Chain A
Amino acid sequence: MMFTATLDVLFFFMISTAVVGWLSSKIRVKNLVQYYSVIGFVSTILFFLVYDLPLVSANGFIIVKTIAPTLGTLLEVDSVSIFMISIYLLLGLFVVIYSVRYMENETGLPQYYVLIFGMIAGMVGVVSAGDFFTLFIFWELMSITSYVLVAFRKTQKTAMEASFKYLIISSFGAGTILFALSLLYGATGTLNLASLSQSLLNAAPTPWLMIVFAMITVGFGIKTAIVPLHTWLPDAHSEAPSSISALLSGVLIETGLYGFCRIFIIMFSLQFRWDILIAVLAIVTMTTGNIMALLQKDLKRLLAYSSISQIGYMLIGLAVAGTPGSSQANIDGLTGLFMHVFNHSLMKGLAFLSAGALIYKLGSRELTNLKGVGRLMPVTSVSLSISLLALGGVPSFSGFISKYTLFLSAFEGGMPVLAIAGILNSGLSMAYYLRVIQTIFLAKPEKDISRIKEVPPSMLMVLIAMAALITIFGLWPGPLFEFSQNAAGSLLQIGEYVRRIIPL
């Protein structure tokens, strides 16, 4: 055992998938590596449920010292980490099952699965990290694997362009985070989150601390695709294979958001009024995302811009979580944020996977070529519609509940402007979601597509399962609400967090 059980199993499968891939090319068994990685994800989930989850629900946390105890590097898994890890593993499982048929005609499948395992392991590591040393290494593991996955279809010109753009912008962000960490280290002599919280939470905001704050905002903001820093996202999300787009949009950008929540609340919550900065960014982000999405003709680019606007809604929760005064509003804001992160991973995951299924059959991403496909591929089209309606916030789907929680918390936290902007933007976003649904179901096809058939059953199974989950969480949100509230409460207990780690 080096790390937590979940991470250990993910690393085991990351390494062994490569070996199995090599073996399957030797003994010529078709699809061996696909099934092996499905087994890998199922067993990771089992290990997570059997080892990590009971420990956290019994003690409230797990602490694993990683490299050397004296250096203060450790993994700290608490309710927030558990919440994020369960999202990663759930969406990862869906994507891997979907990829069995979706990717079967591609070359380099062993590499594809190794990279997926690496990316998920990186994200799990980022949310379990208890210090910046560990966080940065897992952050880079997540980033590097995602660069390669975006460039996975290496014969496509545009994939190279998107991936290179993503690599340059995102590694600039990582370099900026690293520089901020070096300044933090110089100011306090430690990289441990709890020690940093102890020495910074009540410190006066010096100019150096302002620089650190700005650099951390830029660095994490690039990964989260907050608007002035979002330019890599539409390209990378639309040029990656659809299964990867689902992972990037559903969970990778939310990992950046997790970084914001953790770091701002633990380190900066008493020094700056960062809630106002985040509130402004939230409005700018959702408005720009929606307006740009309205102008798109390409289905995947439309979904990518819609991700940006969804990040804007989530930032409402973060802004409310930072308002001083009302602790109930803080908890409600974070609850809304976590619920929306969970729901968004399912909604946007489903949207990208079903859009991928349409593109897989039609060979085109242009909306004009998707006209009338709803009658030929009913299940896929209905699940795409469910995901789009949920993203738009139609009641009885899960997106409604989380948006409602977010907007309500904005009123409660004394930021009604945010709630109004969010409601207006939800209305605006329905314009392009309904346009897609109308194109798919009602428009007359321009050329003969009558030979198009429904996608294979294993892909359909994933789509139906995700659509069912979205509807279930929309009609019966209680358990998810409690799960998110639990995570939000534990994130806001800074004193408890520090007390847990410092005596070690």
Chain B
Amino acid sequence: MLGYGERREGGRSTLSIEFFLAGSLALYFIGLYCLVTKKNLIKLIIGIEIIVNAADLNFIAFAAYRVQGFTDPLAQSFVIISIGVSSCVIAVGLAIAIYAYRRYKTLDVSELKELKW
């Protein structure tokens, strides 16, 4: 493994895999924090997107680093599809948020409390 900041042939700068792993775990927990604390419907959807992106980042990092000098097409195609799928979730989520806004006249999720246990 090359040291921090050195360059591999092909001109890619190389951080070690732990940086990406730490970054994606941090992103995952940021997304989780966002889901737990935020009240705004749109921000909750952003939280979901952050979690999915954390996983995607992990896939891309592993695809490049697992085997030296070889990038796995499986993980890359999975990420492309995962981006498409997550955008579908976001689209549905935003549509439902719009309808919820029309019915409740607010984007505050703590006002959506007609259903209790």
B113: A residues at CB distance < 8 A = 161
A148: B residues at CB distance < 8 A = 92
Please determine whether A151 and B59 come into contact, CB atoms closer than 8 angstroms: no
- Chain-B contact segment, one of A181-189, A276-284, A312-320: A181-189
Please determine whether B99 and A144 come into contact, CB atoms closer than 8 angstroms: no
Once the chains are docked, how many angstroms separate the CA of A43 from the CA of B37? 48
A147: B residues at CB distance < 8 A = 89, 92-93, 96
Q: Tell me, rounded to whole Å, the shortest Cβ–Cβ distance linking B7 to chain A.
A: 24
Q: Tell me, rounded to whole Å, the shortest Cβ–Cβ distance linking B63 to chain A.
A: 8
B82 in contact (CB, < 8 A)? yes
Please determine whether A172 and B48 come into contact, CB atoms closer than 8 angstroms: yes
Please determine whether A140 and B115 come into contact, CB atoms closer than 8 angstroms: no
Contact mask B22-59 → A, CB, 8 Å, 1/0? 00100010011001000001001101100110111011
Please determine whether B81 and A137 come into contact, CB atoms closer than 8 angstroms: yes
Q: Tell me, rounded to whole Å, the shortest Cβ–Cβ distance linking A70 to chain B.
A: 8
Q: Tell me, rounded to whole Å, the shortest Cβ–Cβ distance linking A347 to chain B.
A: 24
Please determine whether B54 and A179 come into contact, CB atoms closer than 8 angstroms: yes
Please determine whether A175 and B59 come into contact, CB atoms closer than 8 angstroms: no
Pick from A140, A160, A181, A239: contact of B88, CB under 8 Å: A140
Q: Tell me, rounded to whole Å, the shortest Cβ–Cβ distance linking B87 to chain A.
A: 11
Please determine whether B92 and A172 come into contact, CB atoms closer than 8 angstroms: no
A174: B residues at CB distance < 8 A = 52, 89
Most buried by B among A161, A163, A172, A178: A178
On whether A178 and B82 interact (CB within 8 A), knowing A67-B77, A71-B74, the answer reads yes
Once the chains are docked, how many angstroms separate the CA of A183 from the CA of B55? 9
A102: B residues at CB distance < 8 A = none
Please determine whether B35 and A144 come into contact, CB atoms closer than 8 angstroms: no
B100: A residues at CB distance < 8 A = 160-161, 164
B51: A residues at CB distance < 8 A = 172, 175-176, 178-179
A175: B residues at CB distance < 8 A = 31, 48, 51-52, 54-55
Once the chains are docked, how many angstroms separate the CA of A178 from the CA of B35? 17
Please determine whether B103 and A162 come into contact, CB atoms closer than 8 angstroms: no
Once the chains are docked, how many angstroms separate the CA of A137 from the CA of B85? 8
* Pairs A-B, 4 closest by C-beta atoms: A182-B58, A175-B51, A178-B55, A186-B62
A86 in contact (CB, < 8 A)? no
- Secondary structure dominating the interface of B: helix
A439 in contact (CB, < 8 A)? no
B4 in contact (CB, < 8 A)? no
Q: Could you show 14 A-B contacts with beta carbons less than 8 Å apart?
A: A71-B74, A136-B85, A144-B85, A151-B99, A160-B96, A161-B104, A163-B96, A164-B96, A168-B44, A168-B93, A179-B58, A186-B21, A186-B61, A239-B115
Q: Tell me, rounded to whole Å, the shortest Cβ–Cβ distance linking B41 to chain A.
A: 7
Q: Which residue of the partner chain B has the closest CB to A170? A: B89
Q: Tell me, rounded to whole Å, the shortest Cβ–Cβ distance linking A301 to chain B.
A: 9
On whether A72 and B35 interact (CB within 8 A), knowing A144-B88, A179-B55, the answer reads no
Q: Tell me, rounded to whole Å, the shortest Cβ–Cβ distance linking A148 to chain B.
A: 6
Pick from A71, A161, A183: contact of B115, CB under 8 Å: A161
Q: Tell me, rounded to whole Å, the shortest Cβ–Cβ distance linking A133 to chain B.
A: 6
Please determine whether B112 and A171 come into contact, CB atoms closer than 8 angstroms: no
B66 in contact (CB, < 8 A)? yes
B99: A residues at CB distance < 8 A = 151, 154, 160
Please determine whether A158 and B81 come into contact, CB atoms closer than 8 angstroms: no
Q: Which residue of the partner chain A has the closest CB to B113? A: A161
Once the chains are docked, how many angstroms separate the CA of A26 from the CA of B103? 31
Once the chains are docked, how many angstroms separate the CA of A123 from the CA of B72? 28
Please determine whether A292 and B117 come into contact, CB atoms closer than 8 angstroms: yes
Contact mask B66-108 → A, CB, 8 Å, 1/0? 1100001111011001100100110011001101100110000
Once the chains are docked, how many angstroms separate the CA of A161 from the CA of B113? 8
A21 in contact (CB, < 8 A)? no
Please determine whether A133 and B66 come into contact, CB atoms closer than 8 angstroms: no
Once the chains are docked, how many angstroms separate the CA of A239 from the CA of B73? 42
Please determine whether B92 and A164 come into contact, CB atoms closer than 8 angstroms: no
A119-170 with Cβ < 8 A to chain B: 133, 136-137, 140, 143-144, 147-148, 151, 154, 156-158, 160-165, 167-168
A190: B residues at CB distance < 8 A = 74
B9 in contact (CB, < 8 A)? no
Once the chains are docked, how many angstroms separate the CA of A175 from the CA of B62? 17
B78: A residues at CB distance < 8 A = 133, 136, 191
B6 in contact (CB, < 8 A)? no
A176: B residues at CB distance < 8 A = 51
Please determine whether B59 and A144 come into contact, CB atoms closer than 8 angstroms: no
Once the chains are docked, how many angstroms separate the CA of A183 from the CA of B88? 24
B55: A residues at CB distance < 8 A = 175, 178-179, 181-182
On whether A158 and B114 interact (CB within 8 A), knowing A168-B44, A178-B55, A182-B58, the answer reads yes
B77: A residues at CB distance < 8 A = 67, 71
